[in-house]
């Protein structure tokens, strides 16, 4: 269930983004299965490889606080289109959060929902490293 308060929180996280190089601000709000929310924003570095996306910030904050079991991630941008997570975030979300619902929020605060498995079909994960 998409809640307007969660959309507002993702937009607030976007407003805290540090994006002086791309000016592409992203906010994320990760919701646990027990209803706790963790926010994140993208944080850029002049060494672009050291930049971190909002989705991973939110997920890493939650995991570092001992959370496990996630249900949704809200992703807000200033773009007119619905912006999905980048490939790196899709992979990390798949491995650490599973097949969660991804709610993408555009600049008009409209939203579109997809399951992560729709955004990352035939995902690679730890099962392939088990030698089976």
What is the C-alpha separation between 19 and 52, in angstroms, rounded? 10
Q: Percent of the chain beyond pLDDT 70?
A: 98
Tell me the average pLDDT of the chain.
96
Say whether 68 is catalytic: no
CB 100 within 8 A of CB 70: yes
What is the C-alpha separation between 84 and 21, in angstroms, rounded? 20
Q: According to the model, what pLDDT value does residue 11 have?
A: 98
Domain of residue 102: give its range: 4-129
Domain total for the chain?
1
Residue in 55, 67, 95, 130 annotated catalytic: 55
CB atoms within 10 A of CB 56: 21
Query: What CATH number does residue 70 fall under?
Result: 3.40.140.10
What is the C-alpha separation between 61 and 19, in angstroms, rounded? 19
pLDDT digits (tens, 9 = 90+) for 38-63: 999 999 999 999 999 999 999 999 99
């Amino acid at each position: 269930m998409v809640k307007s308060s969660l959309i507002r929180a993702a937009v607030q996280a976007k407003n805290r983004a540090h994006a002086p190089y791309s000016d592409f601000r992203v906010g994320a709000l990760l919701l646990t299965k027990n209803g706790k929310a963790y926010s994140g924003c993208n944080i850029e570095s002049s060494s672009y490889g050291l930049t971190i996306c909002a989705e991973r910030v939110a997920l890493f904050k939650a995991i570092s606080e001992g959370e496990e079991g996630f249900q949704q991630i809200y992703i807000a941008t200033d773009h007119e289109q619905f912006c999905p997570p980048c490939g790196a975030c899709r992979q990390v979300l798949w491995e650490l959060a599973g097949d969660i619902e991804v709610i993408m929020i555009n600049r008009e605060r409209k939203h579109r929902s997809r399951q992560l498995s729709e955004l990352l079909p035939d995902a690679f994960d730890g099962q392939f490293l088990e030698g089976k």
